[in-house]
Each structure stands twice: as structure tokens, then as C-alpha cells.
Amino acid sequence: MSWEERARILGSLERHNLNSFFYCPKEDSFHRTNWKESYSDEWMNQFKAFISMANKKNIKIIFGISPGLGFTNSSDINLLINKIESIQAIGIDNVAILFDDLFQNSSGVTHAEIVNQCVEKFKTISFLTVPQEYSLSQAKPDILTSLYLKDFNEILNPKVPIFWTGNQVVSKYSSVEDIHTWINAFKRPIIFWDNYYANDYCVPKIILESYQSLHFDATKLLEGIMINPTGMVEVDEICIDFFGNFINKDQTEVEDYFKDRNFPTELIKILPLFKFKINLKEAKINLKDIETLLWSWHHPLKFAIYPYLHMLRFMLLQKEHTSLSSLRKRFRIIN
């Protein structure tokens, strides 16, 4: 995503009075793979301008860094501190330290101590963190007896919020009771990291439906909610609109949303294919609608959903083919 596209995202957040932008794209190698290395002066200037733009809109920028890869000795903490100092110098005062998706067994003690050292060093920065086990499904054997989470939670500064994705890495719905379970386990502020609209695990699927991850009452129990969309600005603006409608109790129906913006009837007819879970029998899709969108529709959103439209067309044409069963499962499609 370009800086210009990120600026558009800030505009969407501002329209809905949403107050945070989390910068932690995995494609930024200096955030994750090459976290020990410094950003270029050009990048720092661009990020500084982005921070300034966000400040004018009363949106805080949370800078994420993932030091779990290659953190091998005590000298690495100095590299992490240097990285945070450089970001602080251009206006960042919210930093998230991430230990997700490391694909290696790590110590909860080590991870918590890394965060604590940063908290101690930077008194004016608000820190947040993502543990290596960040969902109920990853907590082994469970949220209360996981050795990693037990050590991490006991040692981590009690004021530091953690990100949690729910019962699964991608959770369809989290109840008030679920959230009470998390709170009782961690006894610290929890930010719900919501992958409802994310598609990096099921490319090219796109989800374009109203936000349904939580009951509104659940929002009062959480420190915050951070949605993780697709990285495609045309799609993400829609996802933010739906999330903003939820937060602001706007009851606009999904079909009306697209009608009000003059999207073609063919797209509105196939919106059931853009749900988190898809029931083909209930959807009653006409293949011609997909083909019209593929061959005759011209709109910026089309370029984002074009691969998915092609995949849908292929799957509908080959709907009885057994080789597609794994793909249907991945896209959460039932016949």
C-alpha cells in the first residue's frame, strides 16, 4: 500500500471517528525480517509526513515492530531500542511489539522481558504487544495452562495491553462470555485484533459484508478493536465503512450501501459470494452476473476483486469437481 493509499485510509477512519492506524505490514522488511536495520531517510520523511497528517485528523499511529526473528543475544535489545528511538524522534508515541507467527518455540519469559525493557526505557511511549500465542486455538493446552502464556502474562508489565484474535486466528464471532474468559485469564487490557476481513490466508477471496464479529455490548469490555483488512485500498475503505457503521450504530444494510454508491446491479446480486461463510444454495447466483462484471464493468474496485471473480466463475462452472473440495473449504463455501 502506498502512502497516498494510506492517506485515503486515514480519511475513511476520520469519517467514522475511528482513532487509530496500526502500521505493521509484513511486506515491510524493516518491520519484521530485517528489523535490526534502519529505515532510509526517504522512508522516515514519508512516515513523518504521514504521522503529521494523522495528528491533524486526531488519529494516533501505532508503529509495530516484530523483533522475534533473529533476536539471539542481549545486544539485540540495544538494536531494538535504537529503532524505537528513531521512530520516536519523528513523532511516534505508540509502539506495538509483535511476536506473532514466529514458527519456532520461544520463551514467554524472554518475550515479556523484551517488552518490559522497552517500557522501562521509554517513559513517554505507550506500548502494546502481541504474544506468540495470540488466539485460544494456539494456546496449548489452553488459555489458563499454556506455559508460554502463563510466563508471558505473569512477567509482562501489567499496564501493557495485549492483542488477541479470539477463539481462532480468524474468528467468525466472539461473544461477551468469550471476552470475559480472556479478561479473567490475562487480567489486563485486551485489544481485539480482528481478522474478519483479512484475506491473506484465503487469497483471492474478498469479504464485503457488515461487521458481525462482536455484539456491541462487547466493545465496552475491550481496550480497543483493531480490524485487519486486505491491504487493497478500494476494499479496505468499504471494510472500514462497515466497521464504522457498527461502532456508530448505523443500521445501513449492505445492499443499500452499494446501491447508494451506484455499484452495478450485477455486483449487488452476487454479494452473497462476498460473505465470511457462503451458502451457494441460498445465494442463487447467476453466472452471467459474474461474467458481466468481469468483461463489461469498469471501476477501481474491479481490479481488487477481479481475481476472486475469476475464481468464482471457475468454481461455479466446475461445481461438481471433487478437486475443488479443498478450495471450497478454504473459502468457507457450502453447496
Distance CA 156, CA 311 (A): 45
Q: How many CB atoms lie within 10 A of CB 107?
A: 14
pLDDT of residue 309: 96
Q: Among positive and negative, which fits the CA dihedral 95, 100, 105, 107?
A: positive
CB 134 within 8 A of CB 148: no
**What is the amino acid identity at position 191?**
I
60 and 35 both lie in a single domain: yes
| Cβ proximity of 158 and 130 under 8 Å | no
Which of 247, 270, 298 is the last residue before a domain boundary?
247
Q: Which residue has the cell 519523528?
A: 90
Judge whether residue 101 has pLDDT over 90.
no
Domain hosting residue 237, numbered range: 3-247
pLDDT of residue 323: 63
- Verify cis geometry, omega within 30 degrees of 0, for the bond prior to 141: yes
* 290 shares its domain with 173: no
Q: Do residues 75 and 134 both lie within one domain?
A: yes
Peptide bond into 204 cis (omega under 30): yes
Query: Residue 163: left (phi > 0), alpha (psi -120 to 50), or beta?
Result: beta
pLDDT, average across residues 12-26: 96
When divided into structural domains, the chain yields a total of 2
> 3-state DSSP call for residue 60?
strand
How far from 119 is each of 55, 72, 91, 213, 252, CA to CA, in Å?
Answer: 23, 20, 17, 31, 42
pLDDT at 42 over 80: yes
- Please report how the helices 41-56 and 3-15 are oriented relative to each other, as an axis angle in degrees rounded to 10: 20
User: Between these two residues, 315 and 14, which has the higher pLDDT value?
Assistant: 14
- Strands in 139-290 per DSSP E: 162-164, 190-194, 224-227, 278-279
Q: Are residues 241 and 260 in the same domain?
A: no
Lowest mean pLDDT among 43-57, 66-80, 121-135: 66-80
Query: What is the structure's pLDDT at 246?
Result: 97
Q: Do 161 and 185 share a domain, yes or no? A: yes
* Mean pLDDT calculated for residue range 134-151: 95
Encode pLDDT of 215-273 as tens digits.
Answer: 999 999 999 999 999 999 999 999 999 999 999 999 999 999 999 999 999 999 999 99
Average the pLDDT over each of 101-105, 163-167, 273-277 and give the range with the smallest value.
101-105
pLDDT band at 321 (very low <50, low <70, confident <90, very high): low
171 and 280: one domain? no
Report how far residue 154's alpha carbon sits from residue 144's, in angstroms, rounded to the nearest whole number: 12
> What's the grid cell of residue 167?
477463539
Residue 92 predicted with pLDDT over 80: yes
Lowest-pLDDT choice from 48-52, 66-70, 209-213: 66-70
Beta bridge partners of residue 193, listed in sequence order: 226
- Whether the pLDDT of residue 322 is over 70: the answer is no
Which of 212, 247, 282 corresponds to the end of one domain? Answer: 247
| Rounded average pLDDT over 187-214 | 95
Long-range CB contacts (within 8 A, 24+) of 42-46:
44/86, 44/90, 46/3
Q: How far is CA 171 from the centre of its chain?
A: 12
Question: Which residue has better confidence, 68 or 22?
Answer: 22
3-state secondary structure of 97: strand
CATH number assigned to the domain comprising residue 109? 3.20.20.80
**Domain match, 48 and 135 both:** yes
- Say whether both 320 and 234 belong to one domain: no
Pair (167, 265) in one structural domain: no
Grid cell listed for 283: 445465494
Is the pLDDT at 324 greater than 80? The verdict is no
Give φ, ψ of 20 to 5 degrees. Answer: -145, 145
Residue 70 has pLDDT above 80, yes or no: no
Q: CA end-to-end span of the chain, whole Å?
A: 35
Buried-state track 149-160, b at ≥16 Cβ within 10 A, e below 16:
bbbbbebbeeeb
Where does the pLDDT of residue 123 fall: very low under 50, low under 70, confident under 90, or very high at 90 and above? very high
**30-34, 56-60, 270-274: segment of lowest average pLDDT:** 30-34
* pLDDT value of residue 237: 98
Give residue 117's pLDDT.
Answer: 96
DSSP 130: E
Lowest mean pLDDT among 130-144, 217-231, 315-329: 315-329
Q: Where are the beta strands (DSSP E) in 172-251?
A: 190-194, 224-227
18 and 155 assigned to the same domain: yes
User: What is residue 320's predicted lDDT score, i.e. its pLDDT?
Assistant: 60
53 pLDDT more than 90? yes
State residue 329's pLDDT score: 85
Q: What is the mean pLDDT of the chain?
A: 94
pLDDT of residue 48: 98
Closest C-alpha among 280, 281, 285 to residue 268: 285
Let me know whether 266 and 152 are in one domain. Answer: no
Q: Which three cell numbers, joined as nine digits, stand for 142?
A: 489452553
**Same domain membership, residue 136 and residue 78:** yes
pLDDT band at 330 (very low <50, low <70, confident <90, very high): confident
Question: Where does a domain end: 202, 227, 247?
Answer: 247
Q: State how beta strands 162-164 and 20-23 pair.
A: unpaired
